[in-house]
Amino acid sequence: MSASDTLAAASSPDPDAPVAPPRLRVAPSPTGDPHVGTAYMAMFDLAYARKHGGQFVLRIEDTDRARFVEGSEQQVYDTLAWLGLSHDEGPDVGGPYAPYRQSERLDTYQPYVDKLLAEGKAYYCWCSAERLKEMREKQQALKQPTGYDRLCYGKTEEERAALPGFSDKPVVRMLIPDDVELEWDDLIMGRTSAPRPDDQVILKADGFPTYHLAVVVDDHEMAITHVVRGQEWISSTPKHLLLYKWLEVPAPRFAHMPLLRDEKRAKISKRKNPAARLTWFQEQGYLPEALLNFLALQGYPPIVEADGTEREVFTFEEFTQRFEWAKVNKAGAVFNLDKLNWLNGHYIRELDAGDLASRLIPFLHAEGLVGSHPTLPELGRLKLVAEQVQTRITTLQDAVPLVRPFYVADDELEIADDARATLKDGAAEVLDAAIAALEPIDGGIGNPDGTGVEWLAPRIEAALREAIIDGLGIKPRLAFGPLRVAIAGQKISTPLFESMEILGKHSTMTRLRALRDQL
């Protein structure tokens, strides 16, 4: 099937049941850390493509060379792979419509520009940047609509050169007709309209196409059937539909997604909000499945169970199975990190302890606590520690201070100032009682038949309760504070008795004695 046939087949009356397998794409620009919106659009693209047996394409739109950032493209691959949003075609995997990087497709665009120029639907503009700036300032001062005033239209280069504000490196502009169509049927917004566009530049002076031409040409050449993008692009849709019409190729269906908005209802921006960076979520230790769940809820309702209750926790597979454009919320939701934190905590608690331990390794390695490839004994200890921190953390990064005491040498454990401040006058007496109570307990693994004394949390707890609560008469909520400070060096820690078991008798006793000596 040709690209035109694929597009025509996909424009069936029921957009959620296309005649032909749909083709959708995400097309980020490598201008810095990937925006979280890239993942947001990609997951809706992928859900629809997978539900209907289609393809998901990754295209890199790198024609804005002034804003190009080295390494940004690789970040796109890495973050989408981290989220599990795998593409079927792209610069890194190839495909039948390669190349998928716009800077490698420059020869593709020129024939389309030549066609528009030859048919009088586009024209050269020699206006300098200074002249355009002055024009816009004058329009704004007079409270007129801003837009190109067509000074160059109908003139030869020589005629235009005789006028002020001339540049010998022209751009090419569309010639927007008076009867341009301003309405279309949007998969999400319904019947939608946009203001009349001005004569948009489609080819820059450096020979690179602008977004408006390149996106139309590439979507046609790559047989894209559905274009999913943010509502900020609604104003550009008439230009794009006009280009499809002029180039005599079928237009894809458009689905304009609700924007990701901050607490002030403004579009979430990388300049103002670190959470707009997709890499930020990795750095903070959010789980990819939690982030996908959260992003889905930004534009899609929860699952309604058979009894009518709503379920906000769902997998990407469940999201895909029930996906329909008609259910997308036109208004969207506020980007509420409290909701993401709640979701992430839920997903962390659902992990197997071994899985959680594996996910913690990069964060612990970054702090120098473990190697990048821990040994089996190290992994065994980390699994035990992971079980202790699992209910106490919201993100993987939260685990670092809780895990640290298990991986520092006993003589390098630092007592935090706020933890030391909690030590009262009776701390020395408590430590003395604890040391005396724990000393007789066998620090080995116990007898094979399970009898005898063992260095295990229940035995440790029983001995300490008898010595401190019963023996010293100290209230339970105050009894073990000095021991926590000695073992973890901080106010907030993992469960005391389980921590002692994991550390072992030698480290436990060494730390208790070290703090006692400091008092």
C-alpha 102/C-alpha 89 separation (Å) is 14
Cβ atoms 40, 30 nearer than 8 A: no
Active-site residue (options: 115, 121, 155, 270): 270
Q: What is the 3-state secondary structure (H, E, C) of 16-75?
A: CCCCCCCEEEECCCCCCCCEHHHHHHHHHHHHHHHHCCCEEEECECCCCHHHCCCCHHHH
Residue 428 CB neighbour total at 10 angstroms: 16
DSSP at 119:
T
- Catalytic site includes residue 270: yes
Which residues partner with 311 through β-bridges?
A: 303
C-alpha 221/C-alpha 250 separation (Å) is 11
Q: H-type helices in 84-125, by residue range?
A: 106-118
The contacts of residue 8 (CB under 8 Å, 6+ apart) are 250
C-alpha 230/C-alpha 259 separation (Å) is 6
The phi-psi region of residue 274 (left if phi > 0; otherwise alpha if psi is between -120 and 50; otherwise beta) is alpha
E strands, 390-492, are none
Which residues partner with 226 through β-bridges?
A: 24, 253
Residue with tokens 């008469």: 473
270 labeled binding residue: yes
Residue 19's nearest CA partner among 8, 31, 9 is 9
Which residues partner with 122 through β-bridges?
A: 174
Q: Which residues are annotated as a binding site?
A: 270
Q: Which residues are annotated as a binding site for ATP?
A: 270
Catalytic residues: 270
